[in-house]
Amino acid sequence: MTTTPEGNGAVVDAAFCERVGKVIAVHLAYRSRAEQRGRTPAFPSYFMKATSSLATSGGTVERPAGTELLAFEGEIALVIGTAARRVSPEAGWNHVGWVTASNDLGLYDIKHADKGSNVRSKSGDGFTPLGPALLPAADVDPRNLRLRTWVNGEIAQDATTEDLIFDFGLIVADLSQQMTLHPGDVILTGTPAGSSVVVPGDVVEVQVDDVASSRSTGRLATTVTAGAEGFAAFGNPTKVTDADRIDAFGTADAAGVDAPLTGAAALTAAVREKLLSVATATISGALRKRGLNNVAIEGLNATKGTRKVIGVARTLRYVPNREDLFKTHGGGYNAQKRVMDSLAPGEILVMEARGETGSATLGDILALRSQVAGAEAIITDGGVRDLSAVAELDIPLFHNGAHPAVLGRKHVPWSVDETIGCGGTTVQPGDIIVADADGILVIPPALAAEIADETVEQERRDAFVFAHVQKGNKIDGLFPMNKQWLEKYHAWVEAGADLGTL
């Protein structure tokens, strides 16, 4: 480390980079980025970057030949000052020696081959520039740091640490549970919204400022260059999907591709109205025509009889009770309470309880909380406590029977908004759920619009057939309709499809 003439202390130079022991990066840490990704983690998660990816300000980073998705991520980097092992979140910040700017560059073209590790996509030479100045942690307020990123002089990211989901002390403490953090280790603390793709010739600059003291790291500058070499045939080839482009650019619009249909986007007002107007059996038939035979949640009772509900799935998973795990996950503001507090209008909470009826998965207070939050319904393949009180609430509940015992007898509330199994089928967050006493169906969002159109047409045909059977016509040739009956049907539709005219 050397001293800057401006008096900001140490700077990142080649000698500093050589002394770094390990580089650890946080996946998602800013709320703005989590909103782009469509998920907010309950706990931080991490990946490692090679120390050979470290670089100093003013350098270059190469985009390999034949690739297109090199993305920048302006971040605040923490440099450990004193060793940390099993420290508390309150003490975590005390082990940080310095703060600086970083750019967590990544190549999305090869990300698929990493299988979640980010080894190649994030560890290319020059993919982790740091600096220029190292601000002493004791002189800055970690709750009031400003992070900015410029591309070719235009601001691309501007956020403060007030937007963090996890504060720095918690991140240090969490990592120290499993490994000793040594002086000189670097933690990249995540990027806010605004990260995107850069091309050869672009200059990316990142700066971190302490708002109160006006101390600054100065601008960390990196120039993108075009590489002459690409990936050789003896390794995994590069592969780019629209999902990769959306992740790299930050949004579908920026990537120039159509956004994938999520439950909320797929369940438009028109689709909702159509699906509510048709029988559950008709929807089931349309799904079966597409080869989807295992999309029914089976064996449950309904508190609201034949009242039909429709909504977008949120999920909660219970695992079998284990006393030590219940101590860590069952009490306090656990996954069960968190998901019910986060429910919104248009959503249906679906719970995986493994069909276990020997304990309740919720009671009247949590059911009421879900109702007040605006949820459309609750579905559980486990038991329910306070069933008579829950049944009197307005929110429909689909359940596997009553039981007076609470969670700890059979269940540990474990995870939220992950793929689960309920009543014999798989449910993913964002799936569209249609439910009444006749059945509970899971509709993949991408199929919702065509299923809605098809079932409305099928119901109209069924009404036509029913009316003619009621008038005494024989089934033969009418159900299903032959050519002659189809001609009569189409003429009836063209005339206005009024049952009174049949």
As a whole number of angstroms, the distance between CA 360 and CA 403 comes to 6
Distance CA 434, CA 142 (A): 47
Rounded Cα distance, 298 and 265, in Å: 27
Binding-site residues from annotation for substrate: 363-366, 385
Number of Cβ atoms within 10 Å of the Cβ of 333: 8
Rg of the chain (C-alpha set) = 28
CA distance 342 to 85: 34
Q: Give the DSSP H or E segment for 68.
A: none
Beta strands in 393-460 (DSSP E): 397-399, 411-416, 420-422, 425-427, 432-436, 439-443
- Which residues does 223 contact at the CB level (< 8 Å), separation at least 6? 59, 60, 61, 201, 202, 203, 204
Reading the block at residue 33, the tokens are 């980025």
Contact 428, 313 (CB under 8 A): yes
Tell me if 330 sits within 8 A of 357, measured CB to CB: no
Q: Binding site residues, as ranges?
A: 363-366, 385-386
**Residues making up the binding site for Mg(2+):** 386
In single-letter form, the type of residue at position 303 comes to T
Distances (CA, A) of 442 to 53, 297, 312, 439: 45, 8, 10, 10
∠ Cα 64 24 100 (to 5°) = 90
